[in-house]
Chain A
């Protein structure tokens, strides 16, 4: 076996999830290692925000993020693990203080919750849970 190109494209978590779901629900039964890894990976992915995403809202969100001059990998991270606080944006974007103003960070956060409304819901639920306990 030869490796032609070890990294010809990056995939978002959503794309991987959809592909694996198709594999799992396919006609032919998966066997052995393939069954193990698809099951485990799906378990992980279905617990991440990508479970609520659709191709449409990802595309719209990416278009909206274009205005902020982020790199491709930074945008990919934003889609895979959408930040909900300014602190998380600081982690994902290198030298974010210089590249983005505070208003822009706020705008990005708003933009993400607007395109992925479930993020907000999850946050509220988490808060409610912490109040209950």
Chain B
């Protein structure tokens, strides 16, 4: 679920941070730059793990800040494929079940990956697993938001979210939700997956 990524960066320390120890100043700047951000094809960055090496610091003409080449390791959230995770249902919609881990929200279980047969209940706004009991009747199992759910990660998708040129207000509002830098696709169509309460006994 969590991995370490080794990265290299030239970190700029502005003069007002010169009172700090170099290590602390660099750690602060790296966390400011990366914490809670998605790096393309790496994952969601959580926090600095350690600094591996520091090279000499340079001051360039015309800039009072120092620049230091630093190698460091960062804690990154990036589940393996086929990994089993436990999260909470955030909401249900026609597109499927949205799951959250608290710190990461972009997990979707598409309708095709739900237990079979499942149907979307418009009144309750929830997906329902129409479980076939042995005597031929159906037992409806609702997937309400807030419930704890176990799922398998089946795919990941990174999206380049470069800053674009100026856009009109209307356009920017439309685009805000559309671009998700890192999203996961999950499935629960196996015995043992789904709400924890389904499999208690």
Lowest 10 CB-CB distances: which A-B pairs, in order? A40-B103, A34-B35, A33-B36, A37-B36, A44-B102, A87-B192, A4-B6, A5-B6, A11-B2, A1-B9
B39 touches which of A3, A32, A41 (Cβ 8 Å): A3
Question: When A20-B46, A28-B28, A37-B47 are in contact, do A4 and B36 touch as well, CB less than 8 Å?
Answer: no
Q: A3-B39, A44-B102, A81-B86 are in contact. Are A8 and B47 (CB under 8 A)?
A: no
The prevalent SS among residues of A at the interface is helix
Binding site for B on A (CB under 8 A): 1-13, 15-16, 19-20, 23, 28, 30-34, 36-38, 40-41, 43-44, 48, 73, 77, 80-81, 85, 87-88, 90-92, 94, 126, 130
Bound Cα distance A46, B75 (Å):
17
Residues from chain B with a CB closer than 8 A to the CB of A2 are 7-9
The residues of A that contact B60 with a CB separation of less than 8 Å are none
What chain B residues lie within 8 Å of A1 (beta carbons)? 7-9, 33
Assess whether A34 is in contact with B47, with CB atoms less than 8 Å apart: yes
- What are 9 sample pairs from A and B whose C-beta atoms fall under 8 A apart? A2-B7, A4-B71, A7-B78, A32-B32, A33-B31, A41-B103, A73-B80, A91-B190, A94-B82
Where the two chains meet, the residues of B that have a C-beta atom closer than 8 Å to any C-beta of A are: 1-9, 24, 28, 31-33, 35-37, 39, 41-43, 46-47, 49, 71, 73, 75-78, 80, 82-86, 101-103, 152, 190-193, 199-200
